[in-house]
Structure 1
């Protein structure tokens, strides 16, 4: 497997008045292309800060972040935004759908920034909505859908255009247990089928079992790394 994300000696310190808060303390980590990786930790562990660093949403205090051969930590805001538009998708806990747009319009939106013509955008959006089981909800707005359906729209939006990397930030935080299992199986299957790198950030151990590798983060440090046998996990869930 080839490395798609390389993090070396990553450190993030926030200043709060006269106080210094160390959110990440010299973290080093490689993530492979096509890997499903989960960053697991409690609130305040540094997991969300780590995601923000990798995605170029925040700058580190020091350290190296290399994504697809690009030094994200050295890019200015304009360049990193263009990089995300081309290579990255996001699934959010709160869905982050635009309320006045239909499911089709929400999913097609990221493709606008790639310069894709409208007809092709709509075709791709329809294909992704069908893939997540919402082919009959194209014209529905978020307020006309359940939480699980809204998250499926969010997933379709993240994966449309087949970005090489998809970040899922607490993707099941607002969902019940049954819908959580459906959503996790859905995003991991889509990523695996398209050889996409999927990085899940969560506090939920139940969610982490769907990943190939679990990075346990605590107090800004990598506490341990655990490998999952995905086939065994699926068999246990089917037996349950």
Structure 2
């Protein structure tokens, strides 16, 4: 199975006045198509920075990030935006739903960029919302839904266009334990069904149990990588 993501000697340095802050140091990482990877580390470890670089939301200070055989660090903003629209989905801790739009309108947004007709967008979005258990919330706005319901809308939006890769940054950070388990089941099931690559950032060891591979991040470096079967969780 070929790598869908390859990082070679990636560094990220932030400057604060005369001071340099090394958020990531010489990171090498390979991720295969269909793998579920968990980036695990404490706050400030560099895990979210690593996700942002792979998602093309930030540029590395040094190094190469290859996704689907393309070096994304060489792309300009317009090229990156198009690449993300065609290949990447996002699930955020804070949901990032547009408050003035209904659930069905939020979920259908990625399909606008794909040139899908309004009729087909609405049909597909309704089907996705049904699949995440929100068939009775199609016309509700975010303010009319619970946190768990909003995250289900966010998941439906992330997966509706069947992107090759889905990035999730602390997707259950604002949820209770039961809702967390429900959300993780949804995310993993969607990814497995379509052989999508799933990369989740978390500080929660319980969330990491869902992954094929756990990448431990500490002080901007990969401390170690563990396969689930090595950890006795299969």
Matched ranges for 1:126-205 at <5 A: 126-205=126-205
Aligned equivalents of 2:70, 2:130: Cα separation in 1? 34
Taking the aligned partners of 2:123 and 2:27, their CA distance within structure 1 comes to 42
* Alpha-carbon offset, residue 226 of structure 1: 1.2
Q: Secondary structure at the match of 1:91?
A: strand
In structure 2, what is the Cα distance between the partners aligned to 1:219 and 1:153?
34
Shift of 1:201: 0.6
Shift of 1:114: 1.1
**For each residue in 1:10-52, what CA deviation from the matched residue of structure 2 results, as whole angstroms up to 9, or x when unmatched?**
0011111110000100000000000100001111100011011
Q: Which of structure 1's runs of 4+ aligned residues deviate more than 4 A? A: none
Structure-2 residue corresponding to 1:18: 18
Long gaps (5+) in structure 1: 235-240
Q: 1:233 to 1:134 in 2, by over 3 A?
A: farther
TM-score by length of 2: 0.97
TM-score by length of 1: 0.95
Partner of 1:216: 216
- For residues 28 and 224 of structure 1, the distance between their equivalents in structure 2, rounded to whole angstroms, comes to 11
Q: Secondary structure at the match of 2:96?
A: coil
| 1:42-57 equivalences in 2 (<5 Å) | 42-57=42-57
Q: Which segments of 5 or more consecutive residues in structure 2 lack a partner in the other structure?
A: none
SS of the residue 2:39 aligns to:
strand
Give aligned pairs, total.
233
Q: Which moved more, 1:121-130 or 1:215-224?
A: 121-130
Question: Residue 124 of structure 1 contacts residue 161 of structure 1 at CA under 8 Å; is this kept in 2?
Answer: no
**What is the root-mean-square deviation in Å for CA atoms of aligned residues?**
1.3
